[in-house]
């Protein structure tokens, strides 16, 4: 039998490695930023065009590379970070595998310019699909500039899997945050399509968080600091009242490297138990320093998943540390049964002495003295004249006509003032017999048996088709607010809000202004309660971000799905008789009444035969 196992050519091996290392433009950004940090840079610029598909450029002022190093850096498993297997257990740098540049060069056009401080001129390399096209001597500043153009130009199938420019830009921004948050001592600049998105000066961790997430974030932070033999924990947690419905501001860093750890996230949530609702997520920026030999970061190509030697101990320390910070800074509620606040002296009266009350009497006061007699005596009392007292009883001698009050209507105390559904379907004579089962299902009768409707899913379907139609035909009805409502959002949330502003306007939202951190809302759709505008917009931004990234739906469909999910009637809500019937009528007026927007069954019919079988 002939030999069938062969060694793969280098360019094929590089493309396979690229599938692990480079998943999207954000992966390239992560690798290039980490290389710039490892080079000892004090200032880094990130330049992106078309969501990273057309251009990703990273410019740093690090130590640079020699002519030989520049060429060798694009070979597989060529690295300056480690020299033996033992070094893997004592890693202090970001990258170490030597796969990043080789993988990137295999699937893109790469242009690198670099110069060391000891050389007067630099080196320029141009690489296309792992092939070196040219190598020249150029005038360049100290440091390195790498441009990655036309990502996946030679793998069109992979390029077709990339999402829209806005979605890819969000992924790049997330990676930029993860790098910038852990290195406040480095100056960062981020440009997209020629406009500056972030300008982050050097500073401390707290200042860096405020520069990224907005100045109001600084007042929400509670410091965390603990040092043990196992781990040193520092950073900040957000106050419980600023917990959100969605993930977003949760960051773990281990030895200055961003990591994902559901286990440690659970420890943080456990520390907030009793302070936030179950479906809320607290914000945190936590930096862990452990012995490099006690952590394995070589278990995944992206190096975000790590393995700790003693996770159970780390969990307990982290949970108790956060609880201590919440109590230390008076964030957690405390009951002091020995203290009676009623006995406290008000602050304004602490330094005041006791004063005796004084009573003054007017000795010349005479209540029977008429005003016509003059007020020379000093009395200020004036007796009213009793003249005309007969006029008080005029009209009482007439007979009162009882029929005059026949048109007065008395409002019933138990009357329901309104329902959450349209009133077009509430004609009393057409109401069928319906009832609500456990405040979750609406039960009615049909010719073939019994109809059971899932009230939340059915309302989601009704709202989905309503919003989708309004976004398309731009006929949404807006309810104007008496006073504009000011809401605060981060820069990333504002980007999403501006992206979907037109669609939101079509369904009834009205915005007076979208400033740097503040949004003024002047109108909302009829189905949005005024008290829940902030919550609805928060959920909308978070769910839209997740939904738009995961699926291939249009913006209108994603937005309609998100709105229907957040505004639909909940399980456990009471529906009156008219609302139940309106739900039934509106559901079967939909184009697709069988399924909710999330492909869940909205109703089922239990036939008379099925019921008969139960009694057979």
The per-residue pLDDT for 423 is: 42
Rg of the chain, C-alpha, whole Å? 35
Q: How far apart are CA 149 and CA 108, in angstroms?
A: 6
C-beta neighbour count of 135 within 10 angstroms: 14
Question: pLDDT by residue (tens digit) across 500-522?
Answer: 888 888 888 888 877 767 888 89
Q: How far apart are CA 222 and CA 212, in angstroms?
A: 17
**What's the mean per-residue pLDDT of the chain?**
81
At 447, the pLDDT band (50, 70, 90 cuts) reads confident
Do 24 and 171 form a contact (C-beta atoms < 8 A)? yes
The per-residue pLDDT for 349 is: 61
Q: How far apart are CA 24 and CA 211, in angstroms?
A: 26
DSSP H helices, 527-571, are 533-550, 555-567
With b meaning 16 or more CB within 10 Å and e meaning fewer, what string describes 449-483? eebebbbbbbbbbbbbbbbbbbbeeeebeeeebee
DSSP state at residue 433 = P
Name which of 110, 134, 112, 119 is nearest 63 in CA terms.
119
Question: pLDDT by residue (tens digit) across 372-411?
Answer: 554 444 445 555 556 666 666 665 555 555 555 445 554 4
The per-residue pLDDT for 93 is: 63
For residues 16 and 322, the model is more confident at 322
Here the tokens at position 40 are: 């000892």
With b meaning 16 or more CB within 10 Å and e meaning fewer, what string describes 175-211? bbbbbbbbbbebbbbbbbeeeebbebeeeebbebbbb
Q: Which of 347-356, 417-426, 429-438, 561-570 has the lowest mean pLDDT?
A: 417-426
Here the tokens at position 435 are: 């009832």
At 430, the pLDDT band (50, 70, 90 cuts) reads very low
C-beta neighbour count of 439 within 10 angstroms: 14
DSSP state at residue 303 = S
Question: pLDDT by residue (tens digit) across 57-88?
Answer: 999 999 999 998 888 888 876 666 655 655 55
At 413, the pLDDT band (50, 70, 90 cuts) reads very low
Do 602 and 461 form a contact (C-beta atoms < 8 A)? yes
C-beta neighbour count of 357 within 10 angstroms: 4
Q: Quick check: 425 pLDDT over 60? A: no
Q: Quick check: 431 pLDDT over 50? A: no
Instruction: Report the percent of the chain where pLDDT is more than 90.
Output: 35
C-beta neighbour count of 254 within 10 angstroms: 22
Angle at CA 347, nearest 5°, toward 346 and 352? 90
Name which of 323, 561, 360 is nearest 460 in CA terms.
561
Question: pLDDT by residue (tens digit) across 265-302?
Answer: 999 999 998 888 887 889 999 999 998 888 877 655 56
Q: Hey, what domains does the chain have and what are their CATH numbers? A: 10-200 (3.30.565.10), 213-328 (3.30.230.10), 425-605 (3.30.1370.100)
The per-residue pLDDT for 248 is: 74
Mean pLDDT (whole number) for 189-208: 92
The per-residue pLDDT for 452 is: 94
Q: How far apart are CA 169 and CA 492, in angstroms?
A: 11
The per-residue pLDDT for 20 is: 67
Distances (CA, A) of 344 to 333, 338, 339, 340, 355: 20, 13, 9, 7, 19
Do 48 and 169 form a contact (C-beta atoms < 8 A)? yes
Mean pLDDT (whole number) for 27-31: 92
The per-residue pLDDT for 371 is: 53
Q: How far apart are CA 601 and CA 452, in angstroms?
A: 11
E strand segments, 363-496: 434-437, 441-446, 449-454, 478-488
The per-residue pLDDT for 154 is: 86
The per-residue pLDDT for 170 is: 87
Angle at CA 546, nearest 5°, toward 533 and 29? 125
For residue 444, the cross-strand partners are: 434, 451
Question: pLDDT by residue (tens digit) across 238-263?
Answer: 999 888 877 778 999 998 889 988 89
Q: Which of 8-22, 145-159, 205-219, 370-384 has the lowest mean pLDDT?
A: 370-384
Phi, psi dihedral angles at 188 (to 5 degrees): -120, 145
The per-residue pLDDT for 497 is: 85
DSSP state at residue 305 = -
Write the burial class of residue 233 (CB in 10 Å: 0-12 exposed, 13-18 middle, 19+ buried). Answer: buried
Question: pLDDT by residue (tens digit) across 141-174?
Answer: 999 999 999 998 888 888 888 888 888 998 999 9
Instruction: Report the percent of the chain where pLDDT is more than 70.
Output: 78
The per-residue pLDDT for 397 is: 58
The per-residue pLDDT for 58 is: 96
Q: How far apart are CA 142 and CA 39, in angstroms?
A: 11
Mean pLDDT (whole number) for 121-144: 92
Mean pLDDT (whole number) for 308-333: 86
Distances (CA, A) of 611 to 435, 438, 446, 607: 18, 20, 14, 7
The per-residue pLDDT for 86 is: 56
At 43, the pLDDT band (50, 70, 90 cuts) reads very high
């Amino acid at each position: 039998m002939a030999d069938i196992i062969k060694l793969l050519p280098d360019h094929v091996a590089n493309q396979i490695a690229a599938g692990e290392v480079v998943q999207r433009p954000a992966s390239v950004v992560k690798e290039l930023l980490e290389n710039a940090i490892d080079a000892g840079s004090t200032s880094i610029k990130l330049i992106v065009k078309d969501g990273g598909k057309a251009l990703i450029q990273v410019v740093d002022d690090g130590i640079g590379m020699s002519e030989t190093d520049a060429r060798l850096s694009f070979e597989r498993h060529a690295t300056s970070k480690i020299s033996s297997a033992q070094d893997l257990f004592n890693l202090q740098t970001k990258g170490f595998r030597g796969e990043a540049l080789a993988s990137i060069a295999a699937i893109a056009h790469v242009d690198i310019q670099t110069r060391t401080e000891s050389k007067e001129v630099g080196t320029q390399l141009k690489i296309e699909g792992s092939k070196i096209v040219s190598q020249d001597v150029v005038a360049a500043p100290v440091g390195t500039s790498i441009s990655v153009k036309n990502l996946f130009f030679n793998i069109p199938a992979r390029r077709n899997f990339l999402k829209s420019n806005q979605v890819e830009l969000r992924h790049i921004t997330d990676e930029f945050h993860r790098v910038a948050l852990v290195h406040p001592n480095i100056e960062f600049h981020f440009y997209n399509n020629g406009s500056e998105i972030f300008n982050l000066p050097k500073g401390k961790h707290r200042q860096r968080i405020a520069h990224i997430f907005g100045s109001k974030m600084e007042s929400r932070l509670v410091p965390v600091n603990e040092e043990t033999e196992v781990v040193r924990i520092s950073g900040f947690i957000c106050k419980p009242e600023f917990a959100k419905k969605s993930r977003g501001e949760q960051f773990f860093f281990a030895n200055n490297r961003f990591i994902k750890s559901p286990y440690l996230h659970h420890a943080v949530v456990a520390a907030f138990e009793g302070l936030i609702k179950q479906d809320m997520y607290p914000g945190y920026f936590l930096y862990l320093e452990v012995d490099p030999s006690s952590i394995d970061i070589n278990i995944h190509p992206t190096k975000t998943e790590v393995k700790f030697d003693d996770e159970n101990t780390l969990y307990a320390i982290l949970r108790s540390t956060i609880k201590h910070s919440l109590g230390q800074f008076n964030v957690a509620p405390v009951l002091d049964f020995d203290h009676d606040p009623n006995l406290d002296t008000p602050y304004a009266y602490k330094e005041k002495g006791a004063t005796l009350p004084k009573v003054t009497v007017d000795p010349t006061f005479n209540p029977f003295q008429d005003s016509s007699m003059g007020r020379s005596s000093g009395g200020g009392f004036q007796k009213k004249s009793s003249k005309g007292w007969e006029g008080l009883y005029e009209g009482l001698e007439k007979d009162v006509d009882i029929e005059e009050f026949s048109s007065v209507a008395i409002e019933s105390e138990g009357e329901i003032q309104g329902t959450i559904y349209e009133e077009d379907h509430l004609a009393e004579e057409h109401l069928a017999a319906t009832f609500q089962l456990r405040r979750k299902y609406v039960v009615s009768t049909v010719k073939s048996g019994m109809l059971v409707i899932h009230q939340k899913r059915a309302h989601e379907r009704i709202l989905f088709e309503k919003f989708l139609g309004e976004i398309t035909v731009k006929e949404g009805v807006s309810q104007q607010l008496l006073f504009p409502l000011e809401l605060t959002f981060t820069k990333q949330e504002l980007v999403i809000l501006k992206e979907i502003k037109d669609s939101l306007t079509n369904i009834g939202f009205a915005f007076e202004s979208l400033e740097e951190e503040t949004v003024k809302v002047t109108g909302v759709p009829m189905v949005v309660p005024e008290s829940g505008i902030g919550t609805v917009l928060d959920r909308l931004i978070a769910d839209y971000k997740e939904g738009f990234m995961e699926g291939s739906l249009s913006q209108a469909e994603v937005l309609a799905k998100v709105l229907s999910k957040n505004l639909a009637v909940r399980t456990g809500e009471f529906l009156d008789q008219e609302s139940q019937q309106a739900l039934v009528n509106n559901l079967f007026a939909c184009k697709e009444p069988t399924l909710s927007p999330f492909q869940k069954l909205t109703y089922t019919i239990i036939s008379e035969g099925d019921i008969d079988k139960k009694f057979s």
